[in-house]
Amino acid sequence: MLLVTWDGVLICVSLIVAFIASFTALDTAGRVAVSRGWLARLWLVVSGTAMGIGIWAMHFIGMLAMMMPMDMHYDVRLTAISLAIAIVASILAFGQTVNGNHLTRRRQLRGSLILGTGVVTMHYLGMHALLIDPAPHWNYSLVALSVLIAFIASGAALWLAFHLRQGEKNLFLMRGLASLVMGVAIAGMHYVGMAAAEFNSASSMHRHGVSNEGLAVWVTVITLSILGVTLLSSMLDAQLRAARLAAKLNRANRELHQLAMHDNLTALPNRVMLEQQLQNAIKQATLHDGNFAVMYMDLDGFKAVNDTWGHHVGDRLLIAVAERLCSQLTDRMMLARLGSDEFVLMFENGNEQRASELAQKLVKVIEASFELDCYLLNVSLSVGIAVFPQHGRNRQELMFNADSAMYHTKHRGRNGWSLFEPAMSTSAQHQLELANDLWKAIERQEMRLFYQPKFRASGSELIGFEALLRWQHPTRGLLMPDLFLPRAEKTGQIVALGNWVINEACRQLRQWHNEGNSNWTVSVNLSALQFHQRDLLDTVTQTLAHHHLPRGALMMEITEAIVMRDPQFSQQRIRELQQLGVKIAIDNFGIGYANLLHLKHLEASELKIDRNFINCLRADSEDATVVSAMLTLAQSLNLRMVAEGVETEEQQRLLTGLGFDAMQGYFLGKPTPADRVGEFMISTLLPGLLPTCLTSLTEVR
């Protein structure tokens, strides 16, 4: 046997190369996980190349560590082929494992087989490149062990490459330890394979090919340059990614701050930012004995725009209002939007005179019409002014008093401004208390339903009632809906109130039916919010089933403006209600912008002409002509026509002559509680029956 010794220094160098190659491969594999498209494929090739070169370099440095009593020479072609095999196998194996979000057993097994086969082929082809004659004898037990180690090491390397791509807290340390394990495993396979070769003592080396010295220079230059450039590129890419990520995070933080502090629609500061600036302004004014003004502004007529033209037009109007207000302000003034149509303006050194002059200017600039495409919209501005420190020394007091002054402006007729006075806070406090009491009104059973009768056109037959909501306040007495429904719509309480009205009206109707009045019906009014409520159909279904009401007994009244806001949705919702056995009436007909084509497709049962047409109705008036045209329209669409607001006998006679189906109004009967409906019927029907009775008595005589 030929005596073979080993160079300990080169063995250590081979282990170091294996470690560096493993670390480089793991690091570049991490680039694959965070890249997409062609860049991910590029990093896949780079990581596989680094791994293949590292394995190959470790192999030949290990062979250089094998010292023979002769100069060793290697076949250049076979050596190059072994390098190519190592690189291709590593790229293919990495493509099976590090690419993707999940590492299945099948993918890992396939990758391990590819890499293990490549390593074994590279190693034994490299051994075959040794130009020695005769060829070495092989210990097949050690060969089998080396192959087994190669496959196990390949599987471990690919598993580590996948799981150490990114995301660990101590990623650098983990990759270092994993690289050490991979390096030792790869070196172990190599040196076991080297030990399997037994050389004959009479062996001789061919003189052609590359020598030890040349191969040492070649391996050293290629390995260090490629691994060094690859590792440097990976680190630079990581730094660039970190810089880009930091820039994205900064941009995201700015956007989040913008969203948190500004209104999404108008891009004005929101309530959060306003409160912060108010607090800062109070501190500065207190320190320097200064003052500033707070102006609370609310649009007059904005709800009508929303109800008539829809929320998309209302949103565009709010943007236009914000732009017009900002055009009158300086850089040292801050305009904020609190929500809906409420704005607040704050500016330093704002005494009462300056604030009043600015408020007058803002009111005037909003008076001009807004032209939005085909819409010509008109709204006005109500402003309330509070000045620090005269009208409040903290944020809450200033805002409350400015709001009180604004409501005072609204009560005086709107479209103007008011400077806060102490008496205003008392009125505002009453409004606030009323709003708070409204939350518990249903729970305390303070709500009442009054019923206004509906008659046949002749006025002699009672056919049903319209349920009208009232609030029996414990200290303020009976309150009409115009005092609390606007607040309920603004806070969303209108849905709970509406559901209570539906249930109570159905309960009362069931009681009347049980008393023998089975031909009576009851109608309730739906708000816009309740009409669009998702669970309205479930509420109606459960209520009708609970009170065992027949089909057609319940009617729901929806204003023309609500129906026309979204005709397609209205058609669908009305159709669904009709399928439940609920009749639909279009209320306030004639004052909106009903599209006749849409009206034709609505499955409504009746139209209720607005009282404004009835109030001035005379036989020879233009109103009579308009009403007659509406009646013709209703008849052509097979709709019953109901007149509301009938207040005189002449109006009743004219409407009957025109051909109306039903009517209601103070002349026929005022709204009354359910327990007084019997008295009401006696007082209403007897006057109509007396002439008939007297005629009959005369004929008998």
Query: Where is average pLDDT lowest: 195-204, 415-424, 561-570?
Result: 195-204
Host H or E run for residue 679: helix 677-700
Top pLDDT among 429 and 696 is at 429
Beta strand 416-419 with 380-388: parallel, antiparallel or unpaired?
A: parallel
Flag whether pLDDT at 364 surpasses 80.
yes
User: Under DSSP, is residue 10 helix (H, G, I), strand (E, B) or coil?
Assistant: helix
AA identity, residue 398: L
Q: How far lies 101's CA from each of 34, 97, 263, in Å?
A: 11, 9, 39
> In the structure, how many helices (H) and strands (E) does the chain have?
24, 25
For residues 234 and 21, the answer to whether their CB atoms sit within 8 Å is no
pLDDT classification of 470: cutoffs 50, 70, 90: very high
Beta bridge partners of 609: 589, 643
For residues 635 and 641, the answer to whether their CB atoms sit within 8 Å is yes
Instruction: Report how far residue 417's alpha carbon sits from residue 402's, in angstroms, rounded to the nearest whole number.
Output: 11
Distance separating the N- and C-terminal Cα atoms of the chain: 156
- Which pLDDT value is given to residue 522? 96
Beta strand 370-372 with 416-419: parallel, antiparallel or unpaired?
A: unpaired
Tokens linked to 168 = 């660990």
> Mean pLDDT for the chain?
79
For residues 527 and 494, the answer to whether their CB atoms sit within 8 Å is yes
Beta strand 370-372 with 375-377: parallel, antiparallel or unpaired?
A: antiparallel
- Which pLDDT value is given to residue 110? 83
Virtual torsion, Cα 307, 308, 309, 312, nearest 10 deg: 0
Mean pLDDT of 95-101: 65
Host H or E run for residue 108: helix 105-128
- The angle at the Cα of 526, spanning 522 to 531, to the nearest 5 degrees, equals 130
Query: Where is average pLDDT lowest: 115-124, 194-203, 300-309, 656-665?
Result: 194-203
% residues pLDDT > 70 (the chain): 77
- Which pLDDT value is given to residue 70? 65
Task: Dump the DSSP string for 599-668.
Answer: HHH---SEEEE-HHHHHT--TTSHHHHHHHHHHHHHHHTT-EEEEE---SHHHHHHHHHHT-SEEESTTT
